[in-house]
């Protein structure tokens, strides 16, 4: 079974932001067509495409296209472990700040007896998270699990 094509009913007038979202989603679909996906995943993707194709107004289309790429990528990542570029870097940047940065900042604050140093740990944790995420992105690229697209 193949991934369906995007056939938008709603008119896209002069809304360049909406056109960019449509183009990004079409690029995402074309990248996914290049990968070997399971039948159940293709069915789930086609359901999402049918949902987009059924939208009739421009405002509703904008709302659906804002959420759909991330929803689609969550499904694809969960079932096929295929991710877009910088997926793990962005994920681990936030995790690094919260899991490593805040505790390190608390330690600095307690050692120096001044909790104003709490914020020092955030950039340290962010850099640790970016390093871990970049390594995971490189591993995904080496294994052929990375799409040639950046989800914004």
Domain C-terminal end among 56, 80, 104? 80
Same domain? 33 vs 51: yes
Q: Are residues 58 and 111 in the same domain?
A: no
Q: Is residue 59 part of a domain?
A: yes
Long-range contacts of 105-111 (CB under 8 A, 24+ apart): none
* Same-domain pairing of 75 and 103: no
Residues 133 and 117 in one domain: yes
Instruction: Enumerate residues 6+ apart whose C-beta is below 8 A from 30.
Output: none
Of 43, 65, 80, the position where a domain reaches its end is: 80
Distances (CA, A) of 45 to 28, 51, 73, 84, 121: 11, 10, 10, 16, 40
The rounded distance, in Å, linking the Cα atoms of 63 and 68 is 9
- Low-confidence stretches of the chain (pLDDT < 70) are 13
Q: Are 138 and 99 in a shared domain?
A: yes
DSSP 117: G
Tell me, yes or no, whether 8 lies in a domain: no
Distance of CA 30 to the CA centre of its chain: 16
Task: Tell whether 48 is covered by a domain.
Answer: yes
Answer whether residue 41 is part of any domain.
Answer: yes
Judge if 57 and 74 occupy the same domain.
Answer: yes
Residue with the two structure tokens 């969550």? 74
Closest CA to 123 of 98, 95, 101: 101
**Whole domain around residue 132: which residue ranges?**
87-143
The predicted model scores a pTM of 0.83
- Residues 29, 50, single domain; the answer is yes
For residues 91 and 107, membership in a common domain is answered with yes
pLDDT of residue 16: 81
Q: Domain total for the chain?
A: 2
pLDDT value for 6: 87
CA distance 64 to 77: 20
**Helix, strand, coil % over all residues of the chain, rounded to 5:** 70, 0, 25
Contact assessment for residue 82 and residue 145, using Cβ atoms and an 8 Å cutoff: yes
Residues 28 and 48 grouped into a single domain: yes
Task: Judge whether 3 and 33 are in contact, CB under 8 Å.
Answer: yes
Asked if the structure places residue 150 within a domain, the reply is: no
């Amino acid at each position: 079974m193949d991934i369906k094509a995007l056939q938008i009913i709603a008119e896209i007038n002069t809304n360049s932001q909406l056109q960019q979202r449509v183009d990004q989603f079409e690029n995402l679909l074309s990248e996914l067509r290049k990968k070997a996906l399971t039948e159940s995943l293709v069915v789930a993707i086609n359901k999402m495409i049918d949902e987009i194709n059924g939208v009739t107004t421009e405002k509703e289309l904008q709302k659906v296209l804002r959420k759909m790429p991330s929803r689609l990528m969550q499904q694809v990542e969960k079932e096929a472990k295929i991710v877009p570029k910088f997926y793990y870097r962005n994920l681990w940047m936030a995790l690094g700040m919260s899991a490593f940065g805040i505790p390190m900042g608390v330690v600095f604050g307690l050692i120096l007896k001044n909790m104003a140093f709490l914020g020092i740990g955030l950039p340290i944790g962010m850099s640790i998270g970016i390093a871990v995420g970049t390594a995971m992105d490189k591993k995904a690229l080496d294994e052929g699990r990375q799409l040639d697209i950046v989800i914004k």
